[in-house]
Structure 1
C-alpha cells in the first residue's frame, strides 16, 4: 500500500443487529428508566461479572462515576486526592467539584502511568484517596500502589475509563480489592454515546448501597413517599443506553484480542522509526485493552507536535495530541488546587511536562484493521515525522 494513500480503518462506534434488538427490547418493555425496566439491572450484573466485581452501578457518564465513587469514599472539603498529572481533566475535576484538593504527581515516562514513588512522597494526613489512571488500557503498578495504600490506610480508586477488560497479574479490575470507575463515552472501548459505571469489589456492599442512594436523589429503591435518606443527584442511566451497552459488552473480548495482536506489530514498526518511541508495557499487566495507540517523539516540542498531528490527520490517520498536563489548564486552577504554584508542580512532574509536549495518540479503531493497515500507518507516521 502506498504510504501516501490513506488506509481504510473500521468505523467507530460499531454496532449490528444486537444493538437494534436491544433498543427495540427496551422500547417495547414499556418502562424507559431503570426503576421500572430491566435493561440497566441486567447490564450491571453482566458488567460486574465480566470484571470480577461483586456489584456494578451504571451511571450517566464516566465523570459522574468518578464523583460518585469519590463521594462514597469520603472525599470532600478538607481532603486531598492524589492523581496522575498526565490524564484527562475529569480525573482532577471530579475531585475538585466535591470541594477537595487535587494533588497531581508525576508519571512513568515509559508507561505514562502514575509513578508509585511520586505517590508515596505526596501522601499527607489529609490524603483521602489515591487515584491511579490505567492509561490507554495499560494498568498502573497495582502491586506498588496497593502497598502504599495499605501502609498509609488510604484507599485506591481505579480510574479505569480506558481499561475495560484489562488485567493485572491475571486479575480483572474488579478483583483487585478497590473500587473502580469506567466510561462509556462515544470513543471508549464500549459505548452508548455516554454512560459510566462504578464497580465494587467483594466486601464493599455497604458503599455500593450508599452509591445507589446518592445516584438516585437519595431515594431508596422501594420508596413511595419521597423519603430521601441522603443528599444525592440524578445520575441514573436510562434503559436504552443500557441495552446498547449489553450488546457492546458481548464483543469486547474479541475486539481486545484483535487490538492486542495489531499493537504488537504496530509498536514494533513505530519503534523502528527514527525519533519515535511507542508507549511501553508492563509484563505484569497481562491484558492491555489498548484504548489508544500512543507514541512519543521526544524533543519535538508542543508546537511542532501539534503540527505533526495535523499532518497525520491530513494523511488519513485519526490522530490526536496527548493530554495536556492538568496543572497547565485554566480549569485546574478554578477551585480545589494545592497550595503551591504551577512552577512548583511542574518542577516535580518533569515526565508529565515532557509527555504532554511530545505525545501523539491514534484512535483505537485503527487497531481493528489488518496487518497491511498497520504497516501503512507506520509508513505515514515515518513520513510525517521525517518532514518535522
Structure 2
C-alpha cells in the first residue's frame, strides 16, 4: 500500500534496568550472605510481591516452571491424579504436572480471550481430577467466577498459572486475593524479570509453609540437624535475583499504565485491517498488564504465518508465532499424557486448533512505544498482508 512505512522506529529495549537494579545488586553483595537462609533480599521480595498481589503468603522460587511444580505438589497432584490444563499455553503448564507423575488433561480455550473454556473444564472433570489450572493468557484473566464455582462444586483445587499476569486484576482483585494458589514467572521476557525466577502466592500460611518445605529439600527453615520432613527439591531463589526483582516490581505499575493506554489504540487499528482479529477482553478483568499483543489472522496457514512473522521482524516489529497446541508437541506424550490420540484431543479442542495455527503475538515492549508507533505497526502489518 502506498504511504506505508517501510519499517517501525526502534521500540524500547527489554529488559529495562537502571540504578535501582544496580543498587539492589550491590546491597545483596555487601550483606555477606548470598542465599535466602542468611540474607534478607528474598524475604523482602516475598513480602513486597505478596502485598502487591493481595496476600502475605508469597514464596519465591527458581523459575516459573518450578513455581507450578511446587504449587502442584502442595495441592496433592501426583501419580493417580489428573490436572486439567488449557490446550493453548506454553508447555510448562502441562509439564509441571507430568513431572510429578500426574496426567495432564488438555481442554479447549475461548476463541475470543484464548483463556481456558469453563464448559470444557466441566466436561473434563473426573473422580481423578485434583487441580484445575487456568492460564491468564497474555494478562487476560480466565473466567475466575465460573472456574471458582466449578472447583468448589467438584471439590478440587484451582491453581492460577499467572506467568503473564503480574499486576492483573479480576473485578478489582489481584491474583493473590482470589482465594486460590497462583504461580508467576520472571523469565527474561516476562513483565518483570531477573532473567529467571518464579513465585507462588498462597491463600494461607499453612499452605505457604508446606511450599517452603517442598522448595527447600523438605527442610524446615530453622533446622540444624538435617531433619528433612517431606519430599521436595532445591527450588530456592538466590539473593541477587531477588534484589533485581525488587527493583523490577517498583517500576511495574508505570509500565502497565502505558501498555493499558496503548493496547486499545493498537487493537482498534488492527481490527481495521481486513482479516485481522485482535485478542478480546473480558471486562471483568479490569486491569490487564498485556504480556503480549495478540491477534489472529483466520485462514492464515502455518507457512504463511511464518512469512508474516519473519517480515514483521525484518521491518522492526518484534513478532512471534503463537504457542503450539500442547498435544501437538512430542514432549507432551513422553509421560503423563491422557489415553487419547492427538486427533481425538484436537477434535474436542477446535478453538485451539485455530488459534495455534493462525495467531501472532508481538512482544510487550511494543506497547511501551509511542502512539505513532501503534499506527506504524498496523500500517506495516496491513502492507504485509494486503500490500
What TM-score bracket applies, with the shorter chain setting the length?
over 0.9
Q: Is 1:56 aligned to 2:58, yes or no?
A: yes
Q: CA deviation at 1:214?
A: 1.0
What is the total number of aligned residue pairs between the two structures? 385
Q: Is the 8 A contact 2:217 2:231 kept in 1?
A: yes
RMSD (CA atoms): 0.9
Give distance in 2, aligned partners of 1:15 and 1:293: 22
Question: Which residue is equivalent to 2:357?
Answer: 357
Q: Which among 121, 124, 130 is matched to residue 123 of structure 2?
A: 121
Q: Is the 8 A contact 2:165 2:289 kept in 1?
A: yes
Residues 101-139 of structure 1: CA deviation (Å, up to 9, x unaligned): 000000000000000000000000000000000000000
Question: Which residue is equivalent to 1:341?
Answer: 341
Question: Which residue is equivalent to 1:262?
Answer: 262
Question: Which residue is equivalent to 1:147?
Answer: 149
Give distance in 1, aligned partners of 2:294 and 2:332: 24
Give distance in 2, aligned partners of 1:115 and 1:232: 32
Q: CA deviation at 1:2?
A: 5.4
Q: CA deviation at 1:184?
A: 0.1
Match of 2:220, SS state, is: coil
Give distance in 1, aligned partners of 2:241 and 2:385: 40
Question: Which residue is equivalent to 1:221?
Answer: 221
- Structure 1 spans left out of the alignment, 5+ residues: none
Larger displacement relative to structure 2 (1-10 or 210-219): 1-10
1:5-154 aligned within 5 A: 5-154=7-156
1:230-379 aligned within 5 A: 230-379=230-379
Q: Is the 8 A contact 1:43 1:243 kept in 2?
A: yes
Match of 1:234, SS state, is: coil
Q: CA deviation at 1:384?
A: 1.3
Question: Which residue is equivalent to 2:205?
Answer: 205
TM score, norm. by length of structure 2: 0.98
Q: CA deviation at 1:232?
A: 1.4
Match of 2:157, SS state, is: coil
Q: Is the 8 A contact 1:88 1:326 kept in 2?
A: yes
Larger displacement relative to structure 2 (222-231 or 63-72): 222-231
Give distance in 2, aligned partners of 1:281 and 1:219: 43
Give distance in 1, aligned partners of 2:209 and 2:279: 38
- Structure 2 spans left out of the alignment, 5+ residues: none
Match of 1:251, SS state, is: helix
Give distance in 2, aligned partners of 1:48 and 1:130: 22
